[in-house]
Structure 1
Amino acid sequence: MRFITAAALAALIAAPAMAEGWKDDYKVLKFGVLSGENEKDRIARYTPLEKYLEKKLGIEVEIFTAGNYDGVIQALAADQIEIARLGSSSYAAAYTATNGGVVPTLTDIKQDGTTGYYSIVVTRCDSGIKSLEDAKGKVHAFADPDSTSGYAVPYWNMVNKEGFKPEEHFGTVTFGGSHEADVQGVYNGTFDTASTYQNNDVNGIYQRMEAKGMIDAGQICKIWQSPEITTGPWTFRKNLPADMIEDVTVAIEEFAVEDVEGFKAYSSFDPEDKNPKVGFERVDADRYQWIVDMRAWIKAERRKSSS
């Protein structure tokens, strides 16, 4: 009887520690966000989610930022962060860098049930440039080599749909470093055209910049738009505990319902947007395989060009 009582007591003492599961090994959850906008605005958008996850999961949560997309991708590959909010192309880059060692779980979903957005090319409205053909010989800026809408999708479409190689069509091709830098460069006259993205005609990078007073309204115009792109995923390292991936995924899923104002900040809610983001949808690796294949094609084209 004494043995049974001691064993039961030991089990009771051990139970709280065992119940924590993966939290015993992961006292801090670090998530990375891409450099699509300036760091101040990135932090402002993701801080409500950071605070929500801390309360929901009962652990410390930290936001990780880097000066470019590759910084976040490499941090994920080097096990320096556990999760990242990636674009489709940066997910593909992380998938390649880790030999498939990442797991996509969620993407944003809009009010009408769609989960996509668009790559666009913009210019100053007073530039006289009305099409990609008009931009021949001009200075064009892509956003970042690991950007879906700011590089991979427009580059692939220019070659395979529009019938020209950007390096041969434009007078100069460069990288602005981020979507905001691309738009700001066009606004300032540094670039004639630039690749960026929008969700629709009232919600996108340049529209947000107008709303924030970074640029004057009515100065930036769209001259090209891609087919719809699946929004990038929340992506975990595959070497994390499966229950950790599921618990954090569920917590993020519930964010839109349990912290409505925080989700508005995260999603850059615009009351004029008739099709705002309303939550998340589960995704898997198959959803993004075409992006992985597209990136492989772009790399092969680069090798051919340099040989």
Structure 2
Amino acid sequence: MRFVTTTALLALIAAPALAEGWKDDYQVLKFGILSGENEKDRLMRNEPLRVYLEETLGVAVEIFTAGNYDGVIQAISADQIEVARFGSSAYAAAFTATDGGVVPTLTSLKQDGSSGYYSIVVARCDSGIKSLADAKGKVHAFADPDSTSGYAVPYYNMITREGFEPENHFGTVTFGGSHEADVTGVVNGTFDTASAYQNNDADGVYQRMEDKGMIDKGIICKIWESPEITSGPWTFRKNLPAEMIEEVTAAIEAFPAADPEGYKLYSSWTADDPNPETGFKRVDADRYQWIVDMRSWIKQQRRSGS
């Protein structure tokens, strides 16, 4: 007859409780998404990922949204959410707000192996505005102060590459609040030009709005494009358990293969996109340091009144 020692017995009893690890303390996982499009579409696009993570991780998963980018940045800074999908500039804002207390792990990977996108400036095709020079004295809308392609990159490039300060070049500079709001404002004549994003000439915010029937095709034209921007990362709070960060990261990484149809909805896949997103690739903080530096430069410029 084999006897079990008291120590071994206690270990066996404790095993089920210890097996859950981080899930004992985080029975609800909350992830934030930015306000690049209207809330209904944001939630619909991310629902397959939410369901998949809930089933895969075995914890409740909730989506956190806010009216602007800063709401999600504040939420992760205040430990109200565990993870967020940020644009590059919003990640840099969160990195700065938390003194480096966030960890980027994944970004989007495209079919050709690239992981970037572009800032663009759009105008009505019938406006006669064909370039930034033509927009001098007009009303220009940026998207959100924490938007990479909707503010930081175009603002930075207008000064450093195009040779003008937006506040002096345009007659009025304002914020539309989101990329869709910017495009809608141009269509309606509220703005003459606006900053937005696109992945390529077949896929971007105004092309998606055309596909959804929000605007008619042929109304909006691109008049400027930035250099390629590194796609924003899935970002975790650094004060989370390391095994939690890795397990959630691995689950998101496996999402495209585990649920191909859900991933297509999440990534806004279309049959005519020549270079669709196909999955994720690992990233670290070094990849986004130039964005952190750019934001710091912009703040310094505004502080000095330059």
TM-score after normalising by structure 1: 0.98
SS in 2 for 1:61: strand
Residues of 1 paired with 2:132 and 2:274: CA distance? Answer: 29
Residues of 2 paired with 1:16 and 1:212: CA distance? Answer: 49
For 2:300, the equivalent position in structure 1 comes to 300
Q: Where do 1:9-24 residues align within 5 Å? A: 9-24=9-24
Residues 16-64 of structure 1, C-alpha deviations (whole Å, 9 max, x = no match):
1101100000000000000000000000010100000000000000000
For 2:230, the equivalent position in structure 1 comes to 230
SS in 1 for 2:84: strand
Q: Where do 1:1-307 residues align within 5 Å? A: 4-305=4-305
Residues of 2 paired with 1:214 and 1:259: CA distance? Answer: 28
Residues of 2 paired with 1:304 and 1:167: CA distance? Answer: 14
Residues of 2 paired with 1:228 and 1:17: CA distance? Answer: 48
* 1:253 positional shift: 0.3
Residues of 1 paired with 2:234 and 2:97: CA distance? Answer: 17
Residues of 2 paired with 1:278 and 1:166: CA distance? Answer: 36
Residues of 1 paired with 2:193 and 2:224: CA distance? Answer: 10
User: Which structure 1 residue ranges, 5 or more long, are not aligned?
Assistant: none
Residues 172-215 of structure 1, C-alpha deviations (whole Å, 9 max, x = no match):
00000000000000011100000000000010100000000000
Residues 239-296 of structure 1, C-alpha deviations (whole Å, 9 max, x = no match):
0000000000000000010000010011000110011000000000000000000000
Residues of 1 paired with 2:106 and 2:2: CA distance? Answer: 51
* 1:3 positional shift: 8.5
* 1:5 positional shift: 4.0
Residues of 2 paired with 1:85 and 1:104: CA distance? Answer: 9
Residues of 1 paired with 2:15 and 2:268: CA distance? Answer: 42
CA-atom RMSD in angstroms: 1.2
Residues of 1 paired with 2:112 and 2:106: CA distance? Answer: 17
* 1:12 positional shift: 1.6
User: Which structure 2 residue ranges, 5 or more long, are not aligned?
Assistant: none
SS in 2 for 1:279: strand
Query: What amino acid maps onto 1:104 in structure 2?
Result: P
Residues of 1 paired with 2:169 and 2:244: CA distance? Answer: 48
Residues of 2 paired with 1:97 and 1:41: CA distance? Answer: 28
Query: What amino acid maps onto 1:123 in structure 2?
Result: A
Residues of 2 paired with 1:160 and 1:167: CA distance? Answer: 14
* 1:143 positional shift: 0.1
Residues of 2 paired with 1:240 and 1:8: CA distance? Answer: 31
Residues of 2 paired with 1:130 and 1:184: CA distance? Answer: 18
* 1:6 positional shift: 3.8
Residues of 2 paired with 1:217 and 1:14: CA distance? Answer: 63
Residues 108-131 of structure 1, C-alpha deviations (whole Å, 9 max, x = no match):
000000000000000000000000
TM-score after normalising by structure 2: 0.98
Residues of 1 paired with 2:229 and 2:157: CA distance? Answer: 12
* 1:66 positional shift: 0.1
